[in-house]
Amino acid sequence: MKLDIEHLYRIEKFMESITDFDRLLEAIIRESANALAAESASLALYDEDTDELYFYVVRGKPSERDFELQLKSIRIKKGEGVAGRCAAMQMPVIIQDAYNDPHFDPSADRKTGFKTRNLIAVPMIYRGKLVGVVEAVNKTGADGFDRLDEKVLSVLASQAALVIENARLVQENLRQARAAAMGEGIAGAAHCIKNILAGVGSGEYVMQTGLKNGDLPKVEKGWEVLKRNTDLMRDLVLDMLNVAKPREPETEPTDVNSVCSAVADLMGPRAAEQGVVIELTLAEGIGKRTLDPKGVYRCVLNLVGNAVDACSAPSGRVEISTAEDAQGLAVSVSDNGCGISRENQEKLFDAFFSTKGSKGTGLGLAVTHKIVEEHGGTIAVQSEEDMGTTFTMRFP
């Protein structure tokens, strides 16, 4: 009995250390075979939809790989064979002489080439519900399995049932979380598209009015509105693809200071229209780093665009800075704008969350966060309402 306790103790340690569902079940079945001194052990799960058992884990000799594959292709109706009878009664079944027992079905032996002499089957039950059946086959060094083997295998079967039901619960929670996230994403996208289409309709109306009255300036104004909203739709689609699609950064030696300067040059005129000044504070001697230049450019551009929008006062100031320390390369974008509430800071990097109302898609910071993480970096925010905000990206 000491040996059996050691096996149970090892399984308890497996359950603490192994997070992979399949590896944990394989460990339980391996220990079942060892604890009962059996040539083979298997775990069959119960399929409620078909009322069948199907083999999920099979433990045999190293030379019996074909046997495992053959056995996993077999499905058993509840009530048929030893495993099916065990499932139907939800009670252990011990067979001492397989080929002389009326409940034994030799079809699996014929298919696999395995010779069954004796076997034991124990149901896996969780809260009164059938989960599956654990079997051990061919007791070595003895005439067959006994009641002590039944008790040991019953404990192991209950452990396996617990593992399986916990895994199913986790999978169900993940499925519900994904469905909820998808629903939020669709709702967010629909809201953004609705706002953009409203802008398209407005531009179309202005253009039609201008064409009808021969008013060329009004036509040009309507065209600008249409173009701006078309660009927003394009950016929305690209951002949605960037958020949803896994990608590897296309890295190359990148001068981050040059990237920051290029963003400042691009955003300068727009910032000036709003009375905002963009300043550069770039550390010397940084040199080139292995980064995705397009990705970094997109990140800095998103942060600077948000910073300019946050500075509504004529004395608005946005600073782009770079620095290097023990933690790596830091790129920061600071502003003296309206700041972000603590509540909103917790949701900043969620897709479709925006504090800009109809002016934003809510994807810019989500895309920025994803690109930084793809580089193995981090992004942090420090903000105080009515004082300003600083976003800092760190690349290792």
Q: Which residue has the tokens 């104004």?
A: 221
Mark residue 89 as left, alpha or beta (left: phi above 0; alpha: psi -120 to 50; beta: remaining).
Answer: alpha
The residue among 152, 173, 194 that closes a domain is 173
Is 285 domain-assigned? yes
CA dist 176 and 188 (Å) reads 18
CATH of the domain at 92: 3.30.450.40
Burial 376-390 (b: 16+ CB within 10 A, else e): ebbbeeebeeeebbb
The number of domains in the chain is: 2
Asked if the structure places residue 206 within a domain, the reply is no
Spatial separation of the C-alpha atoms in residues 352 and 243, rounded to whole Å: 11
**Is residue 166 included in any domain, yes or no?**
yes
Describe the strand order of the beta sheet including 276-281 as a list of residue ranges. 276-281, 316-325, 328-335, 388-395, 378-384
Radius of gyration for the chain, computed over Cα atoms and rounded to the nearest angstrom: 33
169 and 287 assigned to the same domain: no
For residues 25 and 166, membership in a common domain is answered with: yes
Strand partners, 129: 126
Looking at the fold, whether 152 and 284 belong to one and the same domain comes out as no
Asked if 17 and 121 sit in the same domain, the reply is yes
Residue 232 gets the label, from left (phi > 0), alpha (psi -120 to 50) or beta, of: alpha
At residue 286, the 3 state secondary structure works out as coil
DSSP secondary structure, 343-387, as one string: HHHTTTTSTT--SSGGG--S-HHHHHHHHHHHTT-EEEEEEETTT
Whether 242 is in a domain gets the answer no
> Does 269 share its domain with 149?
no
Rounded to whole angstroms, how far apart are CA atoms 333 and 282?
A: 11
Let me know how long the chain is.
396
Expressed as residue numbers, the domain containing 320 is: 247-395
Same structural domain, 58 and 162: yes
- Which pTM value belongs to this model? 0.47
Whether 113 and 262 map to the same domain: the answer is no
| Tokens (6 digits) for 339 | 């700041």
Beta strands in 210-345 (DSSP E): 252-255, 276-281, 288-291, 316-325, 328-335
The pLDDT of residue 2: 42
> In terms of domains, do 32 and 160 share one?
yes
370 alpha carbon, distance to own chain's centre? 13
Structural domain ending residue among the three candidates 143, 173, 203: 173
The pLDDT tens digits along the chain (396 residues) read: 444 556 555 655 555 544 566 777 787 888 888 888 898 888 989 998 899 998 888 876 544 555 556 666 788 898 888 999 999 999 999 999 989 998 898 888 887 778 899 999 999 998 889 999 999 999 988 778 999 889 888 888 887 888 788 777 777 776 776 666 556 556 556 655 666 677 788 888 888 888 888 888 888 888 887 887 777 677 666 666 666 566 777 889 999 999 999 989 888 888 888 888 999 999 888 888 888 888 888 888 888 888 888 887 678 899 999 998 877 899 999 988 888 788 776 766 665 555 555 455 556 778 888 888 888 888 888 888 878 889 999 998
| Segment 375-384 long-range contacts (CB within 8 Å, at least 24 positions apart) | 375/249, 375/291, 375/292, 375/295, 377/328, 379/349, 381/340, 381/345, 381/348, 383/339, 383/340, 383/345, 384/339
- Choose the final residue of a domain: 173, 195, 210: 173
- Residues 64, 160 within the same domain: yes
Domain presence at residue 181: no
The answer to the question of residue 184 being in a domain is no
In a domain, 239, yes or no: no
State the SS3 of 76-126: EECCCHHHHHHHHHCCCEEECCHHHCCCCCCHHHHHHCCCCCCEEEEEEEE
Rounded to whole angstroms, what are the CA distances from 223 to 194, 201, 226? Answer: 19, 11, 5
Same domain, 133 and 12: yes
- Identify whether 128 is part of a domain: yes
CATH number at residue 282: 3.30.565.10
**The residue to which tokens 């008790």 are assigned:** 151
